[in-house]
Amino acid sequence: MNKLIHIGFGNIVNVEKIIAIVSPDSAPVKRMVQKAKEEGSVIDATQGRKTKSVLVMENNRIVLSALLPETISGRVASDDISGGKEA
């Protein structure tokens, strides 16, 4: 069975498809996100909030989240599928 985690604002991703969870602040990550936007492979799950983490998925998709990378990785590590408090 696929494990799903909450990444904020009712959005859920499959943990098994995540390659990396990174901060959006570095120049290489900004370039990667911009390129993915141009290719149409970005899923924006921020609901208009500031992007605080970038999830790199194994199907060449990029998912943007308003939760911190530490929050998402903590949910993955603790099996917290609900995400607790809404972001």
Q: For residue range 2-55, list pLDDT tens digits in order.
A: 899 999 999 999 999 999 999 999 999 999 999 999 999 999 999 999 999 999
The position carrying tokens 């799903």 is: 4
User: Is the pLDDT assigned to residue 87 strictly greater than 80?
Assistant: no
Segments forming the whole domain that contains residue 32: 4-78
Q: What is the pTM of this model?
A: 0.89
Burial class (CB in 10 A: 0-12, 13-18, 19+), 76: middle
Q: Is residue 83 situated within a structural domain?
A: no
Q: Is residue 22 situated within a structural domain?
A: yes
pLDDT band at 83 (very low <50, low <70, confident <90, very high): low
Q: Is residue 86 situated within a structural domain?
A: no
Secondary structure class of 26 (helix, strand, coil): coil
Secondary structure class of 62 (helix, strand, coil): strand
User: Is the pLDDT assigned to residue 59 strictly greater than 70?
Assistant: yes
Query: Number of folded domains in the chain?
Result: 1
